[in-house]
């Protein structure tokens, strides 16, 4: 009798795991299906695959072309440098825990057919690495191998197929459609169902770079433009194959809309004096063409941003994009505190120069003074130096052989402040007698105390710096024809007036006059053995002119200093 009892006890020890396994489903919410295994909270793991980026996968030629920036003009005259780029890879490239609400079911591992019946659909919330099922839902299966499917709430379960419909949607996460599939064997006690969720749409956000810490209610739409756009995708029930898609039934159909923040405390990494404004991500169907974007309303620098489309780009599944608008005012100013911005938002700041090139994380900015120097006799036309001193010799350590080379000279600061830039080893800025124009440029008084520690010393600009200034502020193409001892290039009066307005709007004086030839400016460059080129404008021919003074430096002209910041 004792021997029989021992055998029964041993048998029970062997049978107990199987009994517990098959009884698992009956232990939850009074489920009664026998001989099944419950896919429970502890067996589920969900992570999300990071978006693919250009860093991970080299762009095609077309995609590379899309990133090239374009300069566009809004109806109100504001300029914007526009680019579309794929986002940088996230610092942590491991799949992240995918918090959210999910639906899970199983399919036949071979045929992909859905397993149907009682307790064949599990729903729940995954948070902090823990899955918590919704009451009244369960997934109970006979031991075996299955293809498991997991979808988030942006994917619709139609019973025999799945669908993703991204129209219309706002900037919320409701169209961040994700599908994860995995094949697992559930048997015994040592198994898990591990999902890696993959994005089914592309995501896009807007990024504005502006020299202001506030904007006014900027928003916009994605619309279909002049052609139909994809918005719907149909999937096989096992989530592995796209079996159909649909396009918008009309042109200019709303695809999505977005809003932007109105304030920013973050500075741009490249244009270090400008602020970043990032909108939330919008999720769009792959194949949507981004030049369907329309700005609706908004203000920056006191002017409206309206009715403009973005660049042409076809979106790719599971890729992430940022559309950047670096919006510039009519003119960008350097203020006495070293900051940059629009004159309409100067507040208590005082402008001291018009910015020629923006300050970046790798390069100083450059600005031109609002006014020309007034000499000690009240005259703006100043001689190079005292007669007979250094007027008739080469004074820079580099003399350019011709004007084409001279127009590349960007070393005005060197010729003014660096002893290595002078043939006699002196600092021209400190020698009023021999280098009067350099001295006056270096001692320019902008009319206000400069407090910005990033604002450098004023200097006499080189030819290339003059060229860059006119290209920036007058939209000049920089093309010149040189014949003999001088050269010229076309510059319409309207462009000259636009450039002049940048100065006069801030209380400065014009650069050129479109009705009289009364302005000519010194440069610090030297060309050939005897010429010191001057910059001017001929109103009769609407041309920029660059030519020599009389023999070497024997002339008078205005001094308009530049400064780095």
Q: What is the pLDDT of residues 491-546, one digit of tens each?
A: 999 999 999 999 999 999 999 998 988 899 999 999 886 667 888 999 999 999 98
* CA diameter of the chain: 134
Q: Which helix (H) or strand (E) holds 471?
A: helix 463-474
> Using CA of residue 403, residue 407, residue 413, residue 419, what is the dihedral sign?
negative
Q: Chain centroid to CA 467: how far?
A: 28
Q: How many residues in the chain?
A: 565
Whether the model clears a pTM of 0.85, i.e. scores above it, the answer is no
Q: Could you tell me the sign of the dihedral formed by the alpha carbons of 106, 111, 114, 117, in that order?
A: negative
**Alpha-carbon distance values, 113 to 106, 109, 240 (Å):** 9, 8, 12
126 exposure class (CB count in 10 Å sphere: 0-12, 13-18, 19+): buried
Q: Using CA atoms of 351, 450, 511, 404 in order, give the dihedral in degrees to the nearest 10.
A: -120
Q: How many whole angstroms separate alpha carbon 550 and alpha carbon 544?
A: 19
Burial grade of 228 (CB within 10 A; 0-12, 13-18, 19 or more): middle
Question: What stretch of H or E contains 145?
Answer: strand 144-152
Q: Is the dihedral of CA 86, 90, 93, 98 positive or negative?
A: negative
The domain segmentation of the chain, as residue ranges, is 37-51+94-199, 71-82+208-228+242-333, 337-564
Please tell me the predicted confidence (pLDDT) of residue 290: 65
Close Cβ partners of 64 (under 8 Å, ≥ 6 residues apart): none
Q: What is the pLDDT of residue 314?
A: 79
Residue 182 token pair: 């995995």
CA distances from 546 to 348, 394, 523, 535, 549 (A): 39, 19, 10, 5, 10
> What is the three-class DSSP state of 401?
coil
Query: Which residues have C-beta within 8 Å of that of residue 76, sequence separation ≥ 6?
Result: 303, 304, 305, 306
pLDDT score of 315: 86
- Report the sign of the C-alpha dihedral through residues 80, 86, 89, 94, in that order: positive
CA nearest 352: which of 420, 219, 468, 447? 447
Cis peptide before 219 (omega within 30 of 0): no
- Scored b (16 or more CB within 10 A) or e, 169-198 reads bebeeebbbbbbbeebebeeeeeebebbbb
Q: Which residues of 542-561 are buried (b: 16+ CB within 10 A; e: fewer)?
A: bbbbbbbbeebbebbbbbbb
* Residue 252, pLDDT score: 73
User: How far, in Å, CA of 553 to CA of 523, rounded?
Assistant: 11
Q: What is the pLDDT along the chain (565 residues), one digit of tens a residue?
A: 444 344 343 444 444 444 334 434 544 444 445 688 999 889 999 999 999 876 555 443 334 345 567 887 777 878 889 888 899 887 665 557 788 999 999 999 999 999 999 999 999 999 988 999 999 999 999 999 999 999 999 999 999 999 998 876 544 445 899 999 999 999 988 899 999 999 999 999 999 999 999 998 888 887 776 778 888 899 999 999 999 988 887 777 778 888 899 999 999 999 999 999 999 898 988 887 766 566 667 889 989 887 666 666 778 999 999 989 999 999 999 999 999 999 999 999 999 999 999 999 999 999 999 999 999 888 899 999 988 788 888 899 998 888 889 999 999 999 999 999 999 999 999 999 999 999 999 999 999 999 999 999 999 999 999 999 999 999 999 999 988 778 899 999 999 999 999 999 999 999 999 898 889 999 999 988 666 788 899 999 999 998 875 556 888 999 999 999 9
Closest C-alpha among 109, 177, 200, 194 to residue 146 = 109
Q: How far apart are CA 177 and CA 200, in angstroms?
A: 6
Q: How far is Cα 440 from Cα 433, in angstroms, rounded to an integer?
A: 11
DSSP 475: -
Q: Which fold has domain 37-51+94-199?
A: Immunoglobulin-like (2.60.40)
CB count within 10 Å of CB 108 equals 14
For 111, counting Cβ atoms within 10 Å of its Cβ (0-12 exposed, 13-18 middle, 19+ buried), the class is exposed
What is the pLDDT, as a whole number, of residue 178? Answer: 96
pLDDT 10s digits, 277-306: 999 898 988 887 766 566 667 889 989 887
């Amino acid at each position: 009798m004792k021997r029989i009892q021992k055998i029964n006890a041993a048998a029970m020890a062997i049978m107990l795991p199987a009994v517990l396994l098959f009884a698992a489903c009956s232990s939850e919410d009074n489920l009664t299906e026998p001989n099944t295994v419950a896919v429970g909270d502890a067996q589920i793991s969900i992570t999300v695959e990071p978006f693919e980026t250009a860093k991970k996968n080299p762009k095609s030629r077309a995609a590379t072309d899309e990133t090239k920036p374009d300069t566009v003009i809004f109806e109100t005259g504001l300029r914007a440098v526009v680019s579309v780029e794929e986002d940088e890879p996230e610092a942590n490239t491991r799949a992240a825990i995918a918090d959210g609400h999910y639906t899970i079911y199983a399919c036949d591992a071979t045929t992909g057919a859905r397993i149907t019946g009682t307790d064949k659909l599990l729903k729940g919330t995954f948070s902090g690495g823990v899955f918590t099922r919704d009451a009244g839902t369960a997934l109970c299966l006979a031991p075996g191998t299955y293809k498991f499917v997991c979808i988030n709430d942006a994917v619709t379960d139609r019973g025999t197929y799945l669908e993703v419909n991204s129209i219309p949607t706002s900037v919320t996460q409701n169209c961040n459609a994700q599908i994860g599939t995995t094949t697992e064997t559930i048997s015994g006690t040592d198994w898990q169902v591990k999902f890696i969720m993959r994005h089914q749409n592309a995501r896009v956000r807007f990024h504005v770079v502006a020299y202001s810490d506030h904007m006014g209610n900027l928003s916009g739409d994605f619309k279909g433009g002049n052609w139909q756009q994809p918005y719907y995708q149909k999937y096989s029930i096992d989530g592995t194959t796209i079996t159909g898609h649909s396009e918008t039934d009309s042109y200019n159909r709303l695809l999505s809309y977005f809003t932007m923040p109105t304030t920013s405390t973050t500075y741009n990494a490249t244009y270090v004096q400008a602020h970043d404004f990032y909108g939330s991500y919008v999720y769009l169907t792959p194949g949507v063409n981004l030049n369907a974007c329309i700005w609706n309303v908004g203000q920056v620098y006191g002017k409206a941003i309206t009715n403009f489309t973005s660049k042409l780009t076809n979106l790719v599944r599971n890729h992430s994009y940022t559309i950047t608008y670096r919006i510039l005012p009519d003119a960008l100013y350097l203020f006495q505190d070293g900051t940059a911005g629009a004159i309409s938002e100067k507040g208590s700041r005082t402008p001291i120069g018009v910015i020629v090139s923006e300050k970046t994380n790798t390069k100083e900015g450059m600005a031109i003074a609002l006014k020309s120097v007034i000499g000690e006799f009240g005259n703006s036309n100043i001689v190079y130096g005292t007669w007979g001193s250094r007027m008739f010799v080469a004074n820079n350590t580099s003399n350019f052989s011709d004007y084409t080379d001279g127009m590349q000279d960007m070393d005005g600061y060197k010729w003014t402040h660096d002893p290595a830039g002078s043939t006699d080893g002196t600092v021209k800025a400190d020698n009023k007698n021999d280098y009067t124009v350099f001295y006056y440029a270096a001692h320019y008084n902008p009319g206000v105390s400069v407090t910005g520690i990033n604002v450098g010393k004023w200097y006499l600009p080189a030819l290339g710096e003059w060229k860059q200034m006119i290209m920036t502020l007058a939209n000049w193409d920089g093309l010149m024809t040189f014949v003999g001892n001088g050269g010229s290039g076309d510059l319409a009066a309207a462009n000259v007036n636009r450039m002049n307005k940048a100065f006069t709007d801030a209380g400065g004086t014009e650069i050129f006059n479109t009705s009289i030839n009364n302005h000519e400016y010194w440069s610090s460059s030297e060309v050939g053995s005897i010429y010191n080129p001057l910059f001017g404008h001929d109103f009769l021919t609407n041309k920029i002119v660059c030519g020599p003074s009389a023999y070497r430096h024997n002339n008078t002209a205005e001094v308009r200093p530049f400064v780095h910041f």
